[in-house]
Structure 1
Amino acid sequence: MSSPEHKQLIWNLIKDIKVGMLVTKELNDEDGLRARPMSLVQDAYDGTLYFFTSKTDAKAFEIAQDKDVCLTFSNPKDNVYVSLTGKAKLSEKRDLIDQYWNKWVAAWFKNGKDDPDVAILEVKISKGEHWDSTNNKLVQLFEVTKSNIFESSTPNLGESKKFGTE
């Protein structure tokens, strides 16, 4: 698990990206993985990420079969990349649905938040990794060129940090 400070760091990295790719294991393929975009609905992070979903969507059945998921967030413009791994579950908790309901979500559920197909996808994060480079593109190009010329160094493109259980 990560510390409160590290959770805040993760939140600061992903909160403006908003949309992450949720990776699940496909139902009918032992080795197949499937990714789809999911939009964050919360305004803080305590170790769990929340998304709205339909109870009849393929991801709901995939998660019922295998709760292990991966979420990735990227902002190439600012050189921020985050990969999070955790356990997912569908929830019909009324307080969460009420708390996170918004106009964006309403567009997907024509019968509103009382639609019997509405669910909250909760992903409890157990580990992850993030990369954050404050170097601009020119510095990155220099690092890659230097590495190719001298063949003895790896380009320094920024910081990478793993966290959580292994």
Structure 2
Amino acid sequence: MDDLKSEFWDRMDSVRTAMLGISGEGRMVAMSPTTDDDFPGKIWFITAKGTDLARATELGAKPARMVVASDEAGLYADVDGSLARSHDREALDEAWNFVADAWFEGGKHDPDVCLLCFTPGVAEMSVTTTSAVKFFYEIAKAQVTGEKPEAGAQGVVAF
């Protein structure tokens, strides 16, 4: 399943929104994930210090869950892991973007900025083609040959 793990990381670069929450503590919220090759195995989120996620991680890492359903990336994943606050300025510099900038008047130096780090543990995931042409080709081919279409891969991945 190493191929599926590689697909996960490759496709996370194209994911614009994921649902993130603390395991067993209520609702999940839509957040913008960021990955960076300088920080392998980590997914970064920028939020405000007063949010539920920021408050939940004040005293240390918590078991967390991230759910991705991205047609654009062809990635569908339910990921268990841990969520912690990070004070790494280099990671914040890498994760900072125009979306985050729109929320904080003082930019990345705003005192309300809180950087969260999600470390995946295990995921149930599916990857699919992102090409509509390939998808319809596979469906048409299946209709002619009677074979199942090649629609991607699915499995459990341990990080």
TM-score for the superposition, normalised by structure 1: 0.71
1:68 correspondence with 2:63: yes
Q: Does 1:15 align with 2:30?
A: no
The whole-number CA distance in structure 1 between the counterparts of 2:158 and 2:43 is: 15
CA contact (8 A) 2:46 2:114 kept: yes
Contact 2:46 2:100 in 1 (8 A): yes
Change (3 A) 1:75 1:95: closer
Deviation string for 1:5-42 (max 9, x for gaps)? 554321223221221110225xxxxx652111111233
Cα RMSD after superposing both structures = 3.3
Q: Any idea what SS the aligned residue of 2:28 has?
A: strand
* 2:33 partner amino acid: L
- Gapped runs of 5+ residues in structure 1? 26-30, 147-155
Change in CA separation of 1:6 and 1:80 when aligned onto 2, cut-off 3 Å: closer
Q: Residues of 2 paired with 1:42 and 1:133: CA distance?
A: 20
The residue type paired with residue 22 of structure 1 is: L
Q: Which amino acid aligns with 2:34?
A: V
> Residues 54 and 85 of structure 2 are in contact (CA less than 8 Å); yes or no, is this contact kept in structure 1?
yes
Question: Identity across aligned pairs (percent)?
Answer: 23
* Aligned with residue 114 of structure 1, among 109, 118, 125: 109
2:154 maps to what in 1?
160
Aligned residue number for residue 26 of structure 2: 33
Change in CA separation of 1:100 and 1:159 when aligned onto 2, cut-off 3 Å: closer
TM-score, normalised to structure 2, is 0.73
- Say how many residue pairs are matched: 148
Provide the rounded CA distance (Å) in 2 between the counterparts of 1:97 and 1:78.
24
Match of 2:135 in 1: 136
Secondary structure of the residue aligned to 2:103 is: coil
Higher gyration radius (CA): 1
Q: 1:99 to 1:15 in 2, by over 3 A?
A: closer
Counterpart in 1 of 2:119? 124
Does the CA contact (< 8 Å) of 1:48 and 1:123 recur in 2?
yes
Q: Which has the higher contact order (CA 8 A, sep 6+)?
A: 2
